[in-house]
Structures are given as structure tokens and as C-alpha cells.
């Protein structure tokens, strides 16, 4: 289950300061280097910040990014449009955040959300490895 509402202040009569953070796993059939570039461009274009982006030796793309909650719908749309297939939990997290933000835009629109996204890419698929080994034989 995604971590959310971290850092929530106790009910003291003041506005609640909520920090939404999660780790997500996803998949994509897009080439990892192209995916990294298009996803980073989309996040930056929506006003987000890339904190870390790396491509592992196995082809997994890891991106840690943050954005203001008022940009949630745009970020969600751009992640999917870039070719990222989110897990059901990832879709649920984004849906919860979208609904909560739209319902409380005045109070929480400028709060920060953070996502540590790990994307499995075609280089990680076993069939690709077996195809490559068969062609070398």
C-alpha cells in the first residue's frame, strides 16, 4: 500500500500540512533511454523536479521526482502518455491524490508530492535474453 499523509500535523486548528510520498513500480515497452528523456521532459514541463534519474545495468529506469499537488492531473496524464504502464496500486495512488487535491485545491494545491518510480523496460524481459542467446548460437 502506498505511503501517504506522511508528516501530517495533529489537529491543532491550523491548516493540515500533508506530504504525499510513494514508491511505484511500473512497466514500459519503450526504449529505456528514450523513455527517460520523454518522462523527464514531461515532468519538468508540468512544473515538477527530477531529483534522481538512473538506468540500471538490467534496464530498469528509476526516477525520483516531486511536484506541486495542483499539477497532479497533468503529471498523471504525462506519465501514462509517455508509455508508462502503472500498477493498479499506482493508479489508485494517483486517483486518490487527484480527488483529494481537487476537493481541497485552496488548502493543499501548493503542497509537494513525491514519487520514486521504478520502471521495468524491454531489456529486463526474459524473452529478449533468450532471443539474443538463440541468435548467437
Taking the C-alpha atoms of residue 95 and residue 11, their distance in angstroms, rounded to an integer, is 25
Model confidence over 62-86: pLDDT tens digits? 999 999 999 999 999 999 999 999 9
Taking the C-alpha atoms of residue 120 and residue 115, their distance in angstroms, rounded to an integer, is 16
Taking the C-alpha atoms of residue 11 and residue 78, their distance in angstroms, rounded to an integer, is 35
For helices 88-103 and 72-81, what crossing angle results, to 10°?
150
- pLDDT confidence of residue 101: 85
- pLDDT confidence of residue 127: 54
Taking the C-alpha atoms of residue 53 and residue 90, their distance in angstroms, rounded to an integer, is 19
pTM of the model: 0.75
Model confidence over 7-19: pLDDT tens digits? 333 333 344 445 7
Model confidence over 113-129: pLDDT tens digits? 999 999 998 866 555 44
Other CB atoms within a 10 A radius of the CB of residue 30 amount to: 19
Amino acid at each position: 500500500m502506498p505511503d501517504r499523509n506522511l508528516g501530517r500535523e495533529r489537529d491543532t486548528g491550523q491548516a493540515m500540512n500533508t506530504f504525499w510520498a510513494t514508491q511505484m513500480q511500473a512497466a514500459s515497452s519503450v526504449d529505456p533511454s528514450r523513455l527517460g528523456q520523454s518522462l523527464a521532459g514531461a515532468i519538468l514541463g508540468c512544473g515538477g523536479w527530477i531529483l534522481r534519474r538512473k538506468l540500471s545495468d538490467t534496464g530498469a529506469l528509476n526516477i525520483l521526482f516531486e511536484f506541486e499537488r495542483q499539477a497532479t492531473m497533468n503529471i498523471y496524464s504525462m506519465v501514462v502518455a509517455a508509455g508508462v504502464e502503472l500498477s493498479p496500486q499506482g493508479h489508485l495512488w494517483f486517483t486518490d491524490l487527484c480527488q483529494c487535491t481537487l476537493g481541497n485545491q485552496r488548502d493543499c494545491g501548493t503542497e509537494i508530492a513525491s514519487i520514486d518510480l521504478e520502471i521495468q523496460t524491454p531489456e529486463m524481459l526474459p524473452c529478449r535474453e533468450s532471443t539474443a542467446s538463440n541468435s548467437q548460437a
